[in-house]
């Protein structure tokens, strides 16, 4: 299986809306062993000036990996998921993710580079908050970038 070099520059439009719930923030925070009260206690979050619970700094990975799945599952891409290794990850927060947010992610394939028999693929998810599920008046929330190494045979 080889990686399609034409992937570079491709984008996948925002798919379904992700509703950020309080219990999901609490569950994710516990899963990364976070203890800051702003993830758990609405009053503590409000005391810091937030509308509701604040998501941990890496919470957006849930939405980014859903967006990445569009690429990984695209039969034209030629990616074998069992050979994928996560190489790097970055989150740039334009504003924090807060419980009650309705988010969508637009995925861009920024780079495809052959490495041995495999390839390094760099993607960027632009995550926006939407008020009514349409793309009208959407607000930038987080930009995530991620590189995955798809190992070739024998690597």
Partner 1 sequence: MSPTFNELTAGQNIGSRTIEVTRTDLVKYAGASGDFNPIHWNEAFATGVGLPGVIAHGMFTMGAAVQLVSDWAGDPAAVVDCQTRFTKPVPVTDTTGSPEPGATIEVSGAIGKLDADAGTARIDLTVVSAGQKVLMKAQAVVRVS
Binding residues (CB under 8 A) for partner 1: these are 24, 27-28, 30-36, 38-39, 48, 50, 54-58, 61-62, 65-66, 81-93, 96
Contact 135, 104 (CB under 8 A): yes
Token pair for 28: 């994710």
**Which of these, 12, 11, 25, 14, lies nearest to 128 by C-alpha position?**
14
Compare residues 86 and 131 and give the one whose CB is closer to partner 1: 86
Token pair for 19: 């509703």
Minimum CB separation of residue 109 from partner 1 in Å reads 19
Minimum CB separation of residue 27 from partner 1 in Å reads 5
Token pair for 101: 């947010």
| Residue whose tokens read 């009650």 | 100
Compare residues 6 and 45 and give the one whose CB is closer to partner 1: 45
Distance CA 5, CA 79 (A): 11
Compare residues 50 and 134 and give the one whose CB is closer to partner 1: 50
Minimum CB separation of residue 145 from partner 1 in Å reads 8
Compare residues 77 and 144 and give the one whose CB is closer to partner 1: 144
Burial of 103 (0-12, 13-18, 19+ CB in 10 A): buried
Minimum CB separation of residue 143 from partner 1 in Å reads 10
């Amino acid at each position: 299986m080889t990686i399609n070099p034409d992937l570079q520059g491709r984008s996948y439009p925002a798919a379904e809306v992700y509703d950020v719930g309080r219990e999901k923030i609490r569950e994710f925070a516990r899963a990364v062993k976070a203890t800051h009260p702003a993830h758990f206690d609405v009053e503590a979050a409000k005391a810091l000036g937030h509308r509701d619970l604040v998501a941990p700094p890496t919470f957006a990975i849930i939405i980014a990996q859903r967006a990445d799945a569009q690429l990984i599952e695209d039969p034209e891409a030629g990616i074998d998921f069992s050979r994928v290794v996560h190489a790097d990850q970055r989150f740039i927060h334009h504003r924090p993710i807060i419980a009650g947010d309705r988010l969508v992610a637009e995925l861009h394939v920024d780079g495809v580079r052959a490495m041995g028999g495999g390839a390094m693929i760099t993607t960027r998810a632009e995550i926006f908050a939407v008020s009514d599920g349409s793309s009208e008046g959407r607000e930038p929330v987080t930009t995530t970038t991620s590189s995955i190494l798809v190992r070739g045979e024998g690597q």
